[in-house]
């Protein structure tokens, strides 16, 4: 580990441990995946067209109801 830290000029052994875990779990190609930043949330999934249309209709109905 110390040789790898020295070679890549890394001061945090946790990074090397993370690389090792990724390599063991996913193989060397797992190291090529960009992992910086926050993970995307599951809420980014698109709604089906039917659900989207139902929600739009409900929204319009509620707006009409509050305006009358």
pTM of this structure: 0.48
For the segment 51-63, what is each residue's pLDDT rounded down to a tens digit? 889 999 999 999 8
State the Cα angle at 53 between 47 and 59, rounded to 5°.
105
For the segment 10-55, what is each residue's pLDDT rounded down to a tens digit? 999 999 999 999 999 999 888 888 887 777 665 556 778 888 899 9
Assess if residue 26 is contained within a domain.
Answer: yes
Assess if residue 27 is contained within a domain.
Answer: yes
Q: What secondary structure does DSSP assign to 15-66, as a single string?
A: HHHHHHHHHHHH-GGGGGS---SPPPPGGGSPPPHHHHHHHHHHHHHHHHHH
- Structural domain of 13: 1-35
Domain count, the chain: 1
Assess if residue 68 is contained within a domain.
Answer: no
Structure tokens at 58: 């409900």
Assess if residue 17 is contained within a domain.
Answer: yes
Assess if residue 14 is contained within a domain.
Answer: yes
Assess if residue 49 is contained within a domain.
Answer: no
Q: Which residue has the tokens 């390599």?
A: 23
């Amino acid at each position: 580990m110390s040789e790898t830290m020295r070679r890549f000029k890394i001061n945090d052994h946790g990074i090397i441990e993370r690389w090792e875990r990724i390599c063991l779990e996913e193989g060397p190609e797992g190291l090529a995946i960009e992992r910086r930043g926050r993970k995307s949330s599951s809420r980014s999934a698109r709604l089906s067209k039917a659900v989207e249309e139902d929600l739009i209709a409900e929204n319009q109905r509620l707006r009409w109801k509050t305006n009358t």
